[in-house]
Amino acid sequence: MVTRQRVVVGAHYGWRDWLVQRITAVVMTLYTLFFLALLLWHGGLDASAWQRTFGSGFFRLATFLFMVALLWHAWVGVRNILMDYVKPVTIRLSLEVAVIAVLIAYAGWTIRLLWGVV
Amino acid sequence: MAVVDRPVVKPRPVYLNLFAIRLPLPGLVSILHRISGALLFLPGIPLLLWAMQMALTSSDTWGEFRGWFASPWVKLVAIGMTWAYLHHLFAGVRHLVMDLHIGMDLPAARQSSALVLALPVLLTLVVAVRLW
C-alpha cells in the first residue's frame, strides 16, 4: 500500500511577520520612551526647541528608524485585518496594493520632511 | 465494519452568534488592540506626518499648528489618537510579556487585561485635562 505523506507547504511568511511585528514594536516603544524623556527634559517643546531637536543628525536618524518601523508594522497589521474581513480576492488584493502604495508614499514624505529632499 | 469508528458528522461551518457571547476582558483588550491599530493607520499616520511637517517647516507653520488646537474637534481627535496610541502600546507590551510566558494563567491574564484597559484611559484623561 502506498502511503502518501501530506506535506503542508505555504509561503512561510507567517513566522517572519510575527517576528517583524515584535521587533518593530520594540523599536517604536524605545523611541516613544526616548521622545517622552525629551519632552519632560525640555518641559514641552516650543518652535525653536523642536527645530533644534530635529537639527541633530542622530535624532533625525532615530525618527527615520521609528517611521520605518511604524510603516512596516502598519503593513503587517492592516494586511491581517484585510485577510480576516475582506474575502473576495480581487477586492482584497486591490486594497492591499493601495495600502502598499500609500505606505511607500508616507515613507517618501518622511524622508522629505527629515532631510528636505524635494 | 469501520462504520462504527467514524466520528459523528457535525454540521459545518459553525456559525456563532457573537452578540450572545459575553466578551471576557482579555477579549475586549484584543478587539480594542485591533480597532486602535486601524485608527492609528487611518487617520493616525497621515495626521502624524502632517503634524511633523507643520512643526518643522517654520515658526509660522508651528504657530498655525498650535492654532488648530483652539478647535474642540481637533482636541477630540488628538485625545482619541492619544488613547489609540496608548492602548495599542500597552496591549502590545502585554503581548510581548506573554510571549515570554509570563502571566499566562487565567487570573493573571484577567488582571493584566484590566490594567491594560484602565491605564491608557487614565493617562489619556491626564492629557485631555492638560489640553483643555
The predicted complex's ipTM stands at 0.86
Q: Which residues of B98-131 are buried (b: 16+ CB within 10 A; e: fewer)?
A: eeeeeeeeeeebeebbeebbeebeebbeeebeee
Judge whether A71 lies within some domain: yes
* A78 Cα to chain B: minimum distance (Å): 7
pLDDT of residue B7: 66
Please check whether residue A7 lies inside any domain of the structure. no
* pLDDT recorded at residue A117: 56
* Residue A5 counted as domain residue: no
* A51 neighbourhood in chain B, CB within 8 Å: 56
User: Which range has the top average pLDDT, A34-48, B21-35, B52-66, B78-92?
Assistant: B78-92
Closest by CA position to B90, among listed A105, A43, A28: A28
Alpha helices per DSSP H over A10-88: 13-42, 47-55, 57-85
The answer to whether position A4 is within a domain reads no
How many structural domains compose chain B? 1
A·B CB contacts under 8 A: 46
Instruction: Enumerate chain B positions whose Cβ falls within 8 A of a Cβ in A.
Output: 34, 37-38, 40-41, 45-46, 49, 52-53, 55-56, 59, 62-63, 89, 92-93, 95-96, 99
Residue A84 lies in a domain: yes
Residue B49 three-state SS:
helix
In a domain, A1, yes or no: no
Q: Is there a domain that residue B98 lies in? A: yes
- Of A97, A51, A53, the closest CA to residue A75 belongs to A97
| DSSP structural state of residue B40 | I
Grid coordinates representing A103 are 505606505
Are B12 and A37 in contact by the 8 Å Cβ rule? The answer is: no
Mean of the per-residue pLDDT values for chain B? Answer: 88
Enclosing domain of residue A55: 13-115
Which of A62-71, B18-27, B78-87 is predicted with the least confidence, judged by mean pLDDT? B18-27
Q: Are B78 and B69 in contact (CB under 8 A)?
A: yes
How much is the average pLDDT of A50-78? 92
Instruction: Return the H-helix or E-strand segment holding B2.
Output: none
What phi and psi, each to the nearest 5 degrees, are found at residue B82? -60, -45
CA distances from A16 to A21, A93, B82 (A): 8, 20, 29
Spatial CA neighbour of B66 closest among B77, B79, B55: B55
Q: Establish if A22 belongs to a structural domain.
A: yes
Q: A32: which chain B residues are within 8 Å (Cβ-Cβ)?
A: 89
- Structural domain including B35 reads 23-131
Q: Tell me whether residues A77 and B89 touch, CB distance under 8 A.
A: no
pLDDT on residue A40 = 87
Q: Is residue B95 part of a domain?
A: yes
* Half-sphere exposure at residue B16, Cβ-oriented, CA atoms within 13 angstroms: 6
Q: What CATH number should be reported for the domain holding residue A98? A: 1.20.1300.10
d(CA A54, CA B54) in angstroms, rounded, equals 13
What contacts A19, CB < 8 A, 6 or more positions away?
none
Q: Using the beta-carbon criterion (under 8 Å), do A22 and B41 form an inter-chain contact? A: no
In whole angstroms, give the CA distance from residue B114 to residue A44. 31
Give residue for cell 481627535.
B77
Give per-residue pLDDT as tens, A3-17: 667 776 777 778 889
Q: Name the pTM for this structure.
A: 0.85
Number of structural domains (chain A) is 1
Cα A91 to Cα B39: distance, rounded to the nearest angstrom: 21
Q: CB within 8 A of B94, min separation 6: which ones?
A: B29, B103, B112, B113, B116
- State the CATH number of the domain containing residue B81: 1.20.1300.10
Tens of pLDDT along B88-131? Answer: 999 999 999 998 998 888 888 888 899 999 999 999 999 999 88
